[in-house]
Structure 1
Amino acid sequence: MSAPAVATNPPGPRPQHRLPAVVTLDAAATGRLLARLAAVGVAPYPLVSWGTVAGYRHLLRAAPPLVLLDLAGPADRRAVDRLVRGCRLLAPVAVLTAAGTDPVPALEAGAVDVMNREAPALELAARLRADLRRPSPVPARSLRITGGSAAQFLLLDLLGGADGPVCCHELRWLLGRPGHPLPLPTLKLRMQRLQPLLRGTGLTLHSATEYGLATYRLGPAPTKGSDV
């Protein structure tokens, strides 16, 4: 069971829609692709540049059923694995790749689909509509928190919407720049600063380390007299 999502946005329902969002590493190339899709009646929204806190928060508010990760240029197997695993923290991921790209790394990293971004627009539109027919994750219960920075709110939203513990490296890849993950000491410091925001919510930040990897999750705060 996923932890309660932490609502760090202004009051009001989160809009639900059946359009995919797009995360891009090259806004100009992705813009040209979206123009092709718009010509056949598909208009993904929003378009978010990789590593942008404001963009990710906007995407999470839109609550898309699918995120399109547009990899317009060449990317090696390790880079694809990192990008997909990071992007999965936002929503289920379908990957758009250059022609001739091996789809296996993206699929093994958890992508629900891999598409040739150079395929005819009608084919891409049909594939997208098929992907959107997949069941969407059930939105988690919200918990309202005030105070803190946009980067802290983003972390709380990501942890609150996760199905289980989140690996530190997935967070580093998502929050950094392509090829330049967020430094681990920076992430650890940000995590330490989340705890005061959770006071009075009934939740706390749990961390664990195994085989040198730190994981984080939101869970019930220990009650007075508890052994936890």
Structure 2
Amino acid sequence: MRKAHLLGPVAHDWGESRAYENLMQSPKSLTLLDFPLNRPPSEIRGRVRVLSRLGPVTALIPAGYDPVPILNAGALDVLRRDGTVEELAAKLKANQRWAATASFPAPSGQRDLTASMPKHRTQRVLLQVLLHSPAPWCCHELSLLLGSGNQPLSRPALRARIERLQPHLSRHGLVIATSGRWQRIAYSLLSRPTSRPSVQ
């Protein structure tokens, strides 16, 4: 990228809280998701699918991988590692231009919580993720997003983060609702119902 005189990227490992915060605070930024040779295609699709819920993603994949399923998973573009520097640079510039001019839906947060975000970064990022995307998040998606590059976040650890976040949300009239059962639970951020006086 330096060779092609592109703006230098800020590199992060998968799962870093700071990376997600930067991405959600800059909706017109472009994420280049770089996959090494030893990652199976199913993992590439899964990671593209969850990350593209936070912003536009271009995937850099090993030669020989089929780009169509990755595009169907939500990637803005798929670049091959064996492409020339000139070709990769031209495509990245085009993707950056698109991201800079595209209009993105506003986050689904039902009220402004920026002044009272949780102090712990992992809790803050979980709240921002739930505020950012209106559709429910499957436990598998959150575990993958919040885990490391080698290991998804364990289900008990995810439940613990959800439970620690609930008291903070309750003070703002919000609640994390769950649906589903067994190994597939979906989480949604909702307004807590207000009690109304009954009519006798």
TM-score tier after normalising by the smaller chain length: 0.7 to 0.9
Alignment of 1:22-171 (within 5 A): 37-132=1-96, 133=98, 135-140=102-107, 142-144=112-114, 145-171=116-142
Asked whether the equivalents of residues 204 and 218 of structure 1 are also in contact (C-alpha less than 8 Å), the reply is yes
* Partner AA of 1:73 in structure 2: L
Alpha-carbon distance in structure 2 between the residues aligned to 1:146 and 1:40: 39
- Greater Cα shift, 155-164 or 145-154: 145-154
Bigger relative CO (Cα 8 Å, ≥ 6 apart): 1
Residue equivalent to 1:173? 144
Alpha-carbon distance in structure 2 between the residues aligned to 1:225 and 1:45: 52
Going from structure 1 to structure 2, the CA distance change for 1:162 and 1:41 (only over 3 Å counts) comes to same
Alignment root-mean-square deviation, CA: 2.3
* Partner AA of 1:84 in structure 2: V
Going from structure 1 to structure 2, the CA distance change for 1:75 and 1:136 (only over 3 Å counts) comes to farther
* Partner AA of 1:99 in structure 2: A
1:207 to 178, 184, 187: 178
1:217 aligns with 2:188: yes
Alpha-carbon distance in structure 1 between the residues aligned to 2:118 and 2:40: 40
Percent identical pairs in the alignment equals 34
- Greater Cα shift, 41-50 or 183-192: 41-50
TM-fit CA distance, 1:95: 0.3
Query: CA deviation digits over 1:168-221, x for unaligned, max 9?
Result: 111111111234111111101111111111133232212111574111121222
Residue equivalent to 1:182? 153
Alpha-carbon distance in structure 1 between the residues aligned to 2:117 and 2:183: 33
Give unmatched runs, 5+ long, in structure 2: none
TM-score (norm 2): 0.83
SS of residue in 1 equivalent to 2:151: coil
Going from structure 1 to structure 2, the CA distance change for 1:210 and 1:113 (only over 3 Å counts) comes to farther
Alpha-carbon distance in structure 1 between the residues aligned to 2:50 and 2:82: 24
Asked whether the equivalents of residues 148 and 197 of structure 1 are also in contact (C-alpha less than 8 Å), the reply is no
Going from structure 1 to structure 2, the CA distance change for 1:47 and 1:177 (only over 3 Å counts) comes to same
Q: Which has the larger radius of gyration?
A: 2
TM-fit CA distance, 1:80: 1.3
Alpha-carbon distance in structure 1 between the residues aligned to 2:118 and 2:182: 34
Alpha-carbon distance in structure 2 between the residues aligned to 1:210 and 1:107: 30
SS of residue in 1 equivalent to 2:128: helix
Bigger strand fraction? 1
Alpha-carbon distance in structure 2 between the residues aligned to 1:75 and 1:146: 35
Alpha-carbon distance in structure 1 between the residues aligned to 2:5 and 2:173: 45
TM-fit CA distance, 1:164: 0.9
Residue equivalent to 1:24? none
TM-score (norm 1): 0.74
Query: CA deviation digits over 1:128-151, x for unaligned, max 9?
Result: 233231524133364222444110
